[in-house]
Amino acid sequence: MSGLIGKKIGMTSIFDDQGKNVPCTVLEVGPCVVTQVKTKETDGYSALQLGFDDKSEKRTLKSAIGRFKNAGSSPKKKLVEFKDFEKNYKLGDIISVDFFNEGEFVDVSGISKGKGFQGVVKRHGFSGVGQSTHGQHNRLRAPGSIGAASYPARVFKGMRMAGQMGSEKVKVINLKVIKVFLERNILLVKGCVPGHKNSYIIIRK
């Protein structure tokens, strides 16, 4: 799927034509530079590598600096490959937020907020014991029994237990594009998007 790289700015809300308050996420999308063009003849498949967000040469590998100079671009922090562009772009071309149109639906993926080590109630939605009677003073949010006795004499793999939560790749599909601000490279989409503020996200058509 074709798309662009962006950054999550934050959330807001607007009123639609019917007067309803619609929650929206503000995304800074592009401008993205075509840093590499992959073809079936040289790479075995067709794709475009896009770069987003400037980076200092001091923090860039020398081999990567040469690639960016070939594209006539400054070093970029985020590089992502995309396929199936309708238009044939060349090395060094810039794709901005006008790639998207108001009213169309997009898929947005990003890294969700990290929650650290969490228990089963928060991580998996367990209800806990729910009672504080019969002398139970520390069992309210406990997982309870996790396995049988003599058979199978072990705990099955995949058992829902406490552990690290969040900081995973999450994709939200079919978010409606509410507004496109060309002069600011801003995209307004309906609903929420994974990740913290200023985190990188990928928007695909």
**Percent of the chain topping pLDDT 70:** 98
Q: Model pTM?
A: 0.83
The confidence band for 75, taking pLDDT boundaries of 50, 70 and 90, is very high
Question: Quick one: pLDDT at residue 123?
Answer: 96
pLDDT in tens, 46-69: 999 999 999 898 999 988 898 898
Give pLDDT, residue 12.
Answer: 95
Q: In which band, very low, low, confident or very high, does the pLDDT at 168 lie, cut at 50, 70 and 90?
A: very high
Using 50, 70 and 90 to split pLDDT, how confident is the model at 167?
very high
Residues 94-150: pLDDT tens digits? 999 999 999 999 999 999 999 999 999 999 999 887 766 677 777 888 888 888 788
Which structural domains are found in the chain, ordered by start?
A: 3-118+169-204 (2.40.30.10), 119-166 (no CATH)
How far is it, in rounded angstroms, from Cα 35 to Cα 90? 9
The whole-chain average pLDDT of the chain stands at 91
pLDDT at 1 exceeding the cut of 90: no
